[in-house]
């Protein structure tokens, strides 16, 4: 959930992750900052940062309005504004993780596929300290063998059928989001960048072939 926007391309989010017993669930108050680096790097970059320092998110939340989350445990100071939304009930009893510098998402436009639909390659890299003193092998196996494949299948299922009635609720959620104008701006920026980039590639190619093997 979005706790509050802090700029045109900045926001503070809250995420909560279920963790098997005997560990407490993990959560994070995450600061994100989007950067348009299409002209320089050919990508839109969203930088991620959180400094929970192992504190409960409710303790960080209590420091809003001038104090800094993360100070108590030596984490990098991250100021919480005074107008953040209330934390969800799921935050009770959870332990916050750190998301370190260098964590980011990148979105790189690719040449349209054979059906003419624009393609985007997305990569996520997260350097996280979950504050587990020791992680049993069975939890590592659970994440790698069950949880990660399950999440991947869910993402593929949603993205492949996003425009169908089955996922109308997700489209409505995007339409109702206060960040929808930003989504529209990003879509127009990607479209303009891709049109210029791939038109130049076609001219340089000289034989009319579409890059990346598309028809």
| Mean pLDDT calculated for residue range 97-114 | 86
pLDDT at 62: 52
Residue 146 lies in a domain: yes
Q: Which of 3-17, 49-63, 130-144 has the highest mean pLDDT?
A: 130-144
| Mean pLDDT calculated for residue range 146-160 | 87
Question: pTM to 2 decimals?
Answer: 0.69
Q: How far apart are CA 198 and CA 119, in angstroms?
A: 12
Residue 213 lies in a domain: no
- CATH for 164: 3.30.530
Look at residues 57, 64, 63, 55 and name the one whose alpha carbon lies nearest to residue 30: 57
| Mean pLDDT calculated for residue range 89-98 | 81
Residue 77 lies in a domain: yes
- Measured CA distances, 136 to 20, 54, 141, 144 (Å): 11, 19, 9, 13
pLDDT band at 24 (very low <50, low <70, confident <90, very high): confident
Mind listing the pLDDT tens digit for each residue in 51-76? 555 555 655 555 444 333 443 344 44
Instruction: Report the chain's terminal Cα–Cα distance, integer Å.
Output: 40
Look at residues 39, 33, 46 and name the one whose alpha carbon lies nearest to residue 194: 39
Beta strands 10-17 and 26-37 are antiparallel
Is residue 27 within 8 Å of 95, Cβ to Cβ? Answer: yes
| Mean pLDDT calculated for residue range 145-152 | 90
Residue 21 lies in a domain: yes
| Mean pLDDT calculated for residue range 23-45 | 87
Residue 211 lies in a domain: no
Q: Round the average pLDDT of the chain to a whole number and report it.
A: 75
pLDDT at 157: 86
Residue 163 pLDDT > 70: yes
pLDDT at 72: 38
Domain that holds residue 199: 2-206
Q: How far apart are CA 30 and CA 13, in angstroms?
A: 5
Q: How many domains does the chain have?
A: 1
Residue 159 lies in a domain: yes
């Amino acid at each position: 959930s979005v706790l509050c926007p802090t700029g045109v391309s900045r926001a503070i989010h809250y995420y909560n992750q279920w963790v098997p017993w005997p560990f407490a669930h993990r959560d994070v108050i995450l600061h994100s900052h989007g950067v348009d680096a299409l002209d320089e790097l050919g990508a839109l970059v969203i930088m991620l940062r959180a400094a929970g320092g192992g504190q409960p998110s409710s303790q960080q939340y209590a420091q809003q309005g001038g104090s800094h989350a993360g100070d108590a445990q030596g984490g990098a100071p991250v100021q919480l504004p005074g107008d953040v939304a209330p934390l969800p009930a799921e935050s009770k009893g959870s332990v916050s993780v750190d998301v370190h510098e260098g964590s980011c998402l990148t979105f790189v436009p690719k040449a349209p596929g054979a059906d003419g639909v624009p393609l985007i390659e997305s990569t996520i890299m997260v350097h996280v300290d979950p504050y587990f003193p020791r992680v049993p092998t069975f939890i590592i196996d659970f994440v790698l063998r069950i949880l990660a494949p399950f999440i991947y299948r869910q993402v593929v299922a949603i993205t492949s059928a996003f425009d169908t009635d089955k996922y109308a609720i997700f489209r409505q959620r995007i339409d109702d989001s206060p960040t929808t104008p930003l989504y529209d701006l990003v879509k127009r920026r990607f479209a303009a960048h891709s049109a210029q980039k791939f038109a130049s590639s076609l001219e340089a190619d000289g034989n009319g072939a579409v890059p990346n093997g598309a028809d």
